[in-house]
Amino acid sequence: MTELVLLFVGSALVNNFILTRFLGICPFLGVTKELKSAAGMGAAVTFVLSLTSILVWLVHHLILVPLDLVFLQYAVYILIIAVLVQLLELFLRKTSRALYDAFGIYLALITTNCAIMGLALLIIAQEYTLAESLLFALGGGAGFSLAMCMMAGIRQELRFADVPVSVQGPALALLIAGIMSMTFMGFSGLVAM
């Protein structure tokens, strides 16, 4: 049990998906102009991450390994993710209008989000069990959402600052991310990974 908690904390803070592993930089720079959309994106990514971790784990260990088809893993994972996102979008539109409005628009962007594919590759490479994979995904999603919301909060305040023209936009976001990444380095040593 303690191990699972440590795994969660480790993937959320110590090895933060965005700030340490560099996964999901595109939404981190693109969808962080407002706190609300950043939170929506974070929730959508966390949701897809957890479903992906379960599906990919099952397909890998119950289909690819017994049939000796591991060399097909990249094509299989990306197809799982694409189909999952597509079905999820349909399902949400039919069943829960509120959820669909909250993060339906972000779902389309998620297929090419490298955090999802990165997670699929990581849980297989680290040989996690199913429970560990799920916890790792939840922690990764929490860390992702945390970084997204922090960045959005800072950028909202920056609207009132007088920023030189050349540093505006992505350049400033990258510099802020550098400082945030430095603060997150303080978490290393919290959990031995």
Partner 1 sequence: MRQLWRDFREGFIDQTPPFFAAMGLCPALAVTSAVVYGFSMGMAVLAVLLGSNIVVSLIRRWVPAEVRIPVYTVIIATLVTVVDLVLAGTVPAIHRTLGLFIPLIVVNCIILGRAEAFASKHGVTRSIADAFGYALGYTWALLLISAVREILGSGTILGLRVMPAGFVAWKIMLTPPGAFLAMGTIVSVINVIRNRSRSRSAAVKRAQPDTAVPEVA
Instruction: Output the smallest distance, CB 45 to partner 1, in A.
Output: 13
Token reading at 34: 């407002």
Question: Which residues within the stretch 2-41 sit at the binding site for partner 1 (CB under 8 A)?
Answer: 19-26, 29-30
Q: Residue 56 in contact with residue 77, Cβ under 8 Å? A: yes
How far apart are alpha carbons 114 and 125 in whole angstroms? 16
63 binds partner 1 per the rule CB under 8 A: no
> For 26-85, where are the E strands, in sequence order?
none
Closer Cβ to partner 1, 30 or 131, answer by number: 30
Phi, psi values for residue 162, rounded to 5°: -95, 90
How far apart are alpha carbons 126 and 85 in whole angstroms? 24
Q: Which amino acid is at 162?
A: D
Binding-residue pattern over the window 73 to 112 for partner 1, x denoting contact by CB under 8 A: -xx--xx--x----------------------------xx
174 binds partner 1 per the rule CB under 8 A: yes
Token reading at 66: 């017994």
Which residues of this protein are in contact with partner 1, per CB under 8 A?
Answer: 19-26, 29-30, 71-72, 74-75, 78-79, 82, 111-114, 116-118, 121-122, 125, 165-167, 170-175, 177-179, 181-182, 185
